Amino acid sequence: MPFTTAGVQALQRGGCVPSIQQLEQWPLGPCADLTRFEPSTDSNAGTSRDGGSNTNLFNMRSAEFSEPGLDYEPSVPVMALRVDVAAREREIPVHEHRSGQLVIALRGAVSCEVPGALWMVPPQAGVWIPGGTPHSNRGTANALIFYLFVEPGAAPLPDRCCTLRISPMLSEMIQYLAGLPPLYEAGGPTDRLAQVLLDQLCAMPTEEIFLPMPEDARLRKISTAMMRDPSDRRTQTNWASELGMSDRTLNRLCTSLTGLSFGRWRRQLQMIVALRELSGGATVQQVAYDLGYESPSAFNTMFKKAFGKPPATYINDRFRVGG
């Protein structure tokens, strides 16, 4: 084990970790499940790696403990967690934590909403969410998601949300770390792995795969409807009428709040939906017709303008890198 018995016992006296017997049964494969442990009743109790006072390892409100990924405050520089989504989509409600969080999907897709934007996590990429940023996550059915929690100041990562490409080596390191116990000694094998992981993460190129999401209730009604039902084919005129305004007013509202005309904003929303559906296993033909395109070739053209490659090539390249 990457920590001593005496160290574990000291942590237990602070009410921070499970029993030694429980820790010995911790799964060392890729399916570590933090929900098997009970959080401390004292959220301020605990012992840091250097023996001083620290917050609880999980520091979670008990009502939220059944939702992995909410309010984790690890007492180590880096901690990884695996989340398997069941047959139905799963949404984690709005929350925030002090640690920065990287959200990656190795199977299926996950979207992350932060104030003012909806970020899409395509295969072999991750959305970086700085600490203190309110956000919610939604995973497609049967998605395989990994969260990487990074302590503030542990690495020179961006101070804004962004999408980071994830190399095959970095992906394997994150998966391996998720299978290890969440506590480890400074300078030990796991700590050295974590430091190399952070070095690699900081070197990853960024991508901008997001949709401006203003708080205006009228535009949110449109985006929510389209995200939930890609086959919704209401036109700008239909939406303007439903919202009690003219086409021109709707377009002006969208431009002022997102920097995009209504048509461009809707196309960008469609591309986000398309990426989600394709990553979840839908065919190009299914997505094309669901989004209202007259033919798959017309959809291919629009997708290539947005992402630089036709949809089938883009998705296949992503998953091939992951394999």
Residue type, 95: H
pLDDT tens-digit map of 105-120 = 888 888 899 999 999 8
Identify the residue with better confidence: 67 or 4. Answer: 67
- Report which of 127, 233, 296 is spatially closest to residue 304, judged by C-alpha positions: 296
Q: For residue 133, count CB atoms less than 10 angstroms from its CB and return exposed for 0-12, middle for 13-18, buried for 19 or more.
A: middle
Which of 74-78, 90-94, 256-260, 315-319 tops mean pLDDT? 256-260
Q: Please name every residue paired with 103 in a beta bridge, in sequence order, or none if there are none.
A: 127, 147
For the cut 50, the answer to whether the pLDDT of residue 63 exceeds it is: no
Which of 24-33, 62-71, 94-103, 166-175 is the least confident region?
24-33
3-state secondary structure of 54: coil
* pLDDT band of 194, cuts 50, 70, 90: very high
Distances (CA, A) of 78 to 31, 112, 184, 185, 240: 17, 20, 10, 12, 47
For the cut 50, the answer to whether the pLDDT of residue 233 exceeds it is: yes
For the cut 50, the answer to whether the pLDDT of residue 84 exceeds it is: yes
Q: What would the mean pLDDT of 288-303 be, rounded to a whole number?
A: 91
Phi and psi, residue 164, nearest 5°? -115, 130
Which of 60-64, 149-153, 260-264 is the least confident region?
60-64
Which of 93-102, 158-167, 223-232, 294-303 is the least confident region?
223-232
pLDDT of 52: 34
pLDDT of 73: 61
Identify the residue with better confidence: 233 or 10. Answer: 233
pLDDT tens-digit map of 42-51 = 333 333 333 3
pLDDT of 12: 36
For the cut 90, the answer to whether the pLDDT of residue 66 exceeds it is: no
pLDDT of 226: 83
pLDDT of 87: 57
CA-based diameter of the chain, in Å? 70
d(CA 8, CA 276): 42
Q: Which helix (H) or strand (E) holds 92?
A: strand 90-95
Q: Please name every residue paired with 111 in a beta bridge, in sequence order, or none if there are none.
A: 120, 138
Which of 14-18, 163-167, 312-316 is the least confident region?
14-18
pLDDT of 218: 92
For the cut 90, the answer to whether the pLDDT of residue 310 exceeds it is: yes
Residue type, 263: G
